[in-house]
């Protein structure tokens, strides 16, 4: 499958503001953040896990025993 996020092969991309994502090692602990608009203003969600891979459309994280696929358009690297 061409769009199967479990078969990510390209580790590079540029985010919306033109800054490259730093090199991430498989198994490295990272935190992703997602911002959303609410009636009260802005709110955020975070996901912490271990980096598996990413491509131009998805992050692949290991969170506990689960592999989680998150859209890059909604989730940004917060810390590594």
Q: Cα 12 to chain center, whole Å? A: 12
pLDDT band at 24 (very low <50, low <70, confident <90, very high): confident
Q: Over pLDDT 90: what percentage of the chain?
A: 56
Give residue for tokens 């608009």.
37
Q: What pLDDT, on the 0 to 100 scale, is given for residue 6?
A: 54
Give residue for tokens 């592999």.
67
pTM of the model: 0.71
pLDDT band at 73 (very low <50, low <70, confident <90, very high): very high
Residue 5: count of CB within 10 angstroms of its CB: 19
Collapsing DSSP to helix, strand or coil, 33 comes out as strand
**Confidence check: pLDDT of 56 > 70:** yes
The C-alpha atoms of residue 25 and residue 53 are separated, in whole angstroms, by 9
How do strand 41-54 and strand 76-79 relate by DSSP bridges? Answer: unpaired
Question: How much is the mean pLDDT over the chain?
Answer: 80
């Amino acid at each position: 499958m061409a769009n199967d996020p479990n078969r990510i092969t390209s580790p590079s991309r540029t985010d919306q503001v033109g800054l490259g994502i730093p090199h991430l090692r498989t198994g490295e602990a990272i935190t992703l953040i997602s911002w959303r608009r609410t009636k009260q203003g802005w709110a955020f969600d975070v996901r912490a896990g271990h980096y598996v891979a990413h491509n131009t459309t998805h992050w692949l994280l290991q969170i506990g025993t689960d592999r989680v696929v998150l859209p890059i358009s909604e989730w940004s690297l917060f810390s590594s």
